[in-house]
Amino acid sequence: MDTTKNRRSRSGASSRKRSTFSSSNRRNTSGGNRGGYKGGNRRGGGGRSGGNRRGGARKMPTFDPSQFINKNPVEVTEEVYTPKHKFSTFGLNGKLVKTIREMGIETPSPIQDQVIPEILEGNDVIGLAETGTGKTAAFLVPLIEKTLKEYSRQTLILAPTRELAIQIQDEFKKLTKNFKLYSTVCVGGTSIRPQIQSLRKKNHFVIATPGRILDLINQRKYDPSHATTVVLDEADRMLDMGFINDMREILSLTPEDRETLFFSATMNKDAEKMVHDFMKNPVTISVKKKDVTNSIEQDVVPHGHHDKFETLCNLFNESDELKRVIIFGAMKHSVEKLSKELTKHGIGAESIHGNKTHPQRQRSLAKFKSGNARVLVATDVAARGIHVDNVSHVINYDLPNTFEDYVHRIGRTGRGTKRGKALTFVHTK
């Protein structure tokens, strides 16, 4: 594992690796309408769901099938990181240290080890880290500590999807079980009225998707001028989903002297400009994990025009290795249809996409995590922020739009020290 830290004025960082797909097929990230919201507001907060958002035919990406083949993945032995701190030496509240220990967290992860002291000192921070590195606790732990010392503080956390926002809330509750600290989640896909009621009470942490919190700001139900700290979690995903204008508007309404924490797996030009415009001499901490495309076994599955679904069923019927599988589809309606067809053929499946309500998505995810469903069929956007252990296979039933989407998809398997396999369906003429 490669970890680096440096202080940059108005920070610049390495830009996103260029996609090898045709540039004409890349997603427009400059804004636009967002789906996934059932309450009638103009913004969804849950983000766009996969597929074409204006109802036209989906333009197929051009690609070289060899990009999806790696039958001999590199056996990666990650460098053992020796932390400089223990949770007991950060100067944290004793009860908080005890709670962390009870959660089974013995030593700080690399990003926790390096980020926590910087946040405690009040520095703006750019944390370049992928999911699964412990970054949620990396910002929650020091912000909880600071709030315990200054009870009037308020932290606004922005996340790309409602699922990720809820996961952050769940971790917050675990960490604060011994304290009287309060939080609320404001996301699309759920009724806005309970969120408005919750915002009338004291909240030390407001965890939200950009579209929904901006709706609440415009309705004067939430005042961002009280935010002491703003956290942008998985900022690259929010930018990919077209939230850049919302993010800029929200940040412009917060105090100039706020602390800003920016967490992202990559840094593209939009992200660099946002960092330049809204952060003060940030400390950059980079935690790079293994190269996903080199460490996961990958192959293509050829299929004819009329036997695609039959080919998929044969994969499940002929192999017991497909134990917990995520299948990615392009469109909301096709994902739902595929899930139902698999279940009819004796392959237990659940689906997650933007047309489902929040409770429906949570139930589907719970069934998949518990093993009651062997398969989770999902669109790209709906799957962002979802972390499920021990996924044996990722299947690209429909091709991704960009190579970055492909890397994100297959990264759902082979996590940590686990082995995983990715299969991509390719039409043969």
pTM of the prediction? 0.70
In the chain, domain spans: 2-16+77-288, 65-76+291-427
Reduced to 3 states (helix: H, G, I; strand: E, B; else coil), residue 73 is coil
In this predicted model, what pLDDT tens digit does every residue of 34-65 receive, in sequence order? Answer: 333 333 333 444 443 333 333 444 555 666 77
Percent share of the chain, pLDDT over 70 = 80
pLDDT for residue 207: 98
**Which residues sit opposite 185 in a β-bridge?**
207
Architecture of domain 2-16+77-288: 3-Layer(aba) Sandwich (3.40)
- The low-confidence residues of the chain, meaning pLDDT below 70, are 1-63, 74-79, 288-293, 382-385, 416-417, 429
Distance of CA 14 to the CA centre of its chain: 20
**DSSP sequence for 129-193:** E-TTSSHHHHHHHHHHHHHHH-TT--EEEE-SSHHHHHHHHHHHHHHTTTS---EEEE-TTS-HH
* CA distances to 7, 74, 158, 254, 421 from 10, in Å: 9, 37, 21, 18, 40
In this predicted model, what pLDDT tens digit does every residue of 101-139 receive, in sequence order? Answer: 999 998 999 999 999 999 999 999 999 987 778 899 999
Amino acid letter, 185:
V
* CA distances to 87, 132, 428 from 396, in Å: 41, 22, 15
CATH of 65-76+291-427, one of 3.40.50.300, 1.10.645.10, 3.90.1170.50, 3.90.1150.170: 3.40.50.300
In this predicted model, what pLDDT tens digit does every residue of 148-197 receive, in sequence order? Answer: 999 999 999 999 988 899 999 999 999 999 999 999 999 998 899 999 99
